[in-house]
Amino acid sequence: VPALIEIDSDGHRGGLVPDDPALLGIAAVLAGAGCLRGVMTHAGESYGAVGAEAQAAFAERERAAVVQAAERLRKAGLACPVVSVGSTPTAHAATDLTGVTEVRAGVHVFFDLVMAGIGVCRIDDIALSVLTTVIGHQPARGWIVTDAGWMALSRDRGTAVQAVDQGYGLVCADDGTLLPDLVLRSANQEHGIIARRDGAAAPLPDLPVGARLRILPNHACATAAQHDGYHVLPAKGGTLAYWPRFRGW
């Protein structure tokens, strides 16, 4: 089994710090078994870094950690062909990738509201949405009820800890135009509840039963995992393509 040694670049989760005394011993065992391919890290803490400057600092921290670990291996006479980093905020902010051979950014293929919330993309860049239909209203509460709840959107509330809480998602017309001041306020298993954002000036728009809307997700990875595939809109219109998803363990 080809193996990379995980390096802890920011204290987020797993791996060895680059100067961990155990690194060379582990590498020697893997090399002896013919498995060692290199080192990898994931800058999980960069998802809390707001703005390109803070993200660039994380990118450099990520790079420095794996390059330092790779150099320790090479000085010990071990080959380290793969030096891998990976996180969407750092992939977009990195200014120097010297010594890195692989960047494993993931959510950048779609972007989402969490990424928009830390300035990695604009809301208009988000390429994944859930198509839903208005199925009812509770006028006294200012609610528009849809048929996409958390089973379609996921329970991810990643923007809850950001400067702007986007609820369970933002609301677009079915052509993708953002409807201002609306938010998917809450989600039940198979129902979404759209309401005006707190402090919104505009009244609730007239979205009758049957109106189709698109919900932009907090976290594209979590939302996509609730579905078996993607219905892909060609840029110039025409027939939808269908891309099945890989699932399971």
Q: Is 61 in the site for a second copy (CB under 8 A)?
A: no
Q: Amino acid identity of 147?
A: D
Stretch that binds a second copy, among 68-76, 77-85, 208-216, 241-249 (CB under 8 A): 241-249
Q: Tell me if 109 contacts a second copy by CB under 8 A.
A: no
Nearest 5°: the CA angle 200, 204, 208 is: 155
User: Which one of 20-28, 51-59, 132-140, 172-180 is the stretch in contact with a second copy (CB under 8 A)?
Assistant: 132-140
Q: Does 212 bind a second copy (CB under 8 A)?
A: no
**In this structure, are strands 143-146 and 130-138 parallel, antiparallel, or unpaired?**
antiparallel
Answer for which of 13, 122, 212, 231 binds a second copy (CB under 8 A) is 13
57 vs 135, which CB is nearer to a second copy?
135
6 or 71, CB closer to a second copy? 6
Smallest gap from Cβ 219 to a second copy, in A, equals 8
Minimum gap (Å) between residue 13 Cβ and a second copy: 6
Using the rule CB under 8 A, is 138 a contact of a second copy? yes
**Phi, psi (5° rounding) for residue 57?**
-65, -40
How many residues lie near a second copy (CB under 8 A)?
27
Indicate the residue among 28 and 221 with the shorter CB distance to a second copy: 221
Which range of residues in 31-39, 56-64, 95-103, 154-162 is near a second copy by CB under 8 A? 154-162
Cα–Cα separations (whole angstroms), residue 21 to 5, 16, 67: 14, 9, 16
- Applying CB under 8 A, does 208 fall inside the site for a second copy? no
Pick the closer one to a second copy by CB: 85 or 97.
85
Phi–psi pair at 51, nearest 5 degrees: 95, 155
Verify binding: residue 154, a second copy, rule CB under 8 A: yes
What's the token pair of residue 66? Answer: 């794996």
In this chain, which stretch among 28-36, 51-59, 221-229, 231-239 interacts with a second copy, using CB under 8 A?
221-229
Q: Under the rule (CB under 8 A), what is the footprint of a second copy? A: 13-14, 44, 135-136, 138, 145, 150-152, 154-157, 188-189, 191, 193, 221-222, 225-228, 247-249
